[in-house]
Homo-oligomer: A and B are copies of this chain.
Amino acid sequence: MTQLTMAKSINEGLRRAMADDPKVLVMGEDIGKLGGVFRVTDGLLDQFGAQRVIDTPLAESGIMGAAVGLAFRGYRPVVEIQFDGFVYPAFDQIVCQVAKLHYRTRGNVKMPITIRIPWAGGVGAAEHHSESPEAYFVHTSGLRVVAVSNPQDAYVMLRQAIASNDPVVYFEPKRLYHQKGEVDLDVDLADAPPMGLARVAREGSDVTLLTYGAQVSTAMDAATAAEDDGISIEVIDLRSISPVDYRTVAASVRKTGRVVVTHEAAREAGVGAELVASVTEQCFNYLEAPPVRVTGHDIPYPPAKLEKHHLPDLDRILDAVDRVLDRPNSQTGREEWGSLESGRGAAVGGSRA
């Protein structure tokens, strides 16, 4: 066991995966000499050389398409997208090729590509540097999607993602890069919990709080704060957001009967929507209150000085906890979708024709 930052634990994950399997290579922008803008690939170029640590031209579709070709050739490319907001030029290659080639070729061509994405906000960054695009990939059949919340998971799940024959989108919360945690680099990967399993991060009995990535620590803080009010929150770190380990989720919900989901991404058709819908389908008779989502607003990511009003923080989570417990909360006395009841014409938009 050793204390490592998440950035370093991912770095170790890459290093050891590359040492163990000559087919593993990493590619992306500025990952060579610079070691990546977050230094996650630091030292890899020196150790493995320019054929396995590839500084690519500045073109994400090109990177992803080349990775597909390398996978055709039997390689296991680990692609770094420099920031969450720069994955979109690669979207076509991801959705139409990476996700579908195994299906298209009836299993003959494997796509063991890991797409690493430094992810989400809370770091005061410029536009496009704080996005949470995970729902796009969760909605894309043929991909697996994971989000890590601590250095140990970051290490183990990266190794598992690289070892998987399926494409995995691997989200790394930027705001946790420099947080340290205990990491056992010598863990037996076969024995470690598979990346598909959720983890009960904290046990509780009143409310199930579902989340992933950096929001796990916010959720843990909320659970601690709620304890003072005598509220016992069970926090589940989903780890894999596609597929979701509903066995663990359902066990919790059947116990608590109350669910809050939180993520940074916009709410509409986000991962939270899937979680609420699935939990409702599976645990309806156990639910004591409608699940509540605490998410980013349905707005483009705002300027850095305003991001704290966008990101679901401890207070917004606790307010939602109050809601599912039917305690006084910010929406008490407000009709749900109150504004809907009034002004039919004007409020629906798009009527200027």
Enumerate chain A interface residues (CB-CB to B < 8 A).
61, 85, 88-89, 91-92, 95-96, 99-100, 103-104, 127-128, 135-136, 138-142, 144, 146, 156, 159-166, 168, 189-190, 192, 194-197, 240, 242-243, 245-247, 250, 265-266, 268-274, 276-278, 280-282, 284, 287, 289-293, 297-300, 336-337, 340-341, 344-345, 347-353
Return the chain B residue nearest A156 by Cβ.
Answer: B353
**Given known A-B contacts A269-B273, A273-B269, A136 and B138 have beta carbons under 8 A apart:** no
**Distance between Cα atoms of A18 and B153 in the complex (Å):** 56
Is B337 a contact partner of A250 (Cβ separation < 8 A)?
Answer: yes
Once the chains bind, are B271 and A269 in contact (CB under 8 Å)? yes
Q: Is the CB of A144 within 8 A of B350?
A: yes
Copies in the complex: 2
Jot down 9 A-B pairs with beta carbons below 8 A, ordered by A: A135-B139, A139-B269, A160-B353, A164-B349, A194-B351, A195-B349, A245-B348, A273-B277, A276-B277
Query: Is there contact, CB below 8 Å, between A197 and B348?
Result: yes
A268-B242, A299-B103, A352-B164 as given contacts; A336 in contact with B128, CB under 8 Å:
no
Which chain B residues border A350 with CB–CB below 8 Å?
144, 146, 160-161, 163-164, 166, 168, 194-196, 240
Please name all residues of chain B whose beta carbon is closer than 8 Å to the beta carbon of A274 when the two chains form the complex: 268-269, 273, 277
Check B243–A349 contact: CB distance below 8 A: yes
Candidate in A128, A243, A300 with the most chain B CB atoms within 10 angstroms: A300
Query: With A and B bound together, what is the CA distance between A270 and B139 in angstroms?
Result: 6
Most chain B beta carbons < 10 A, residue from A168, A270, A353: A353
Contact: A139 with B136, CB < 8 Å? yes
Among B163, B240, B269, B348, the residue within 8 A (CB) of A269 is B269
Identity of the chain B residue whose Cβ is nearest the Cβ of A99 in the assembled complex: B300
Question: Chain B nearest CB: distance from A304 CB in Å?
Answer: 14
Tell me which residues across on chain B come within 8 A of A85, comparing CB atoms.
96
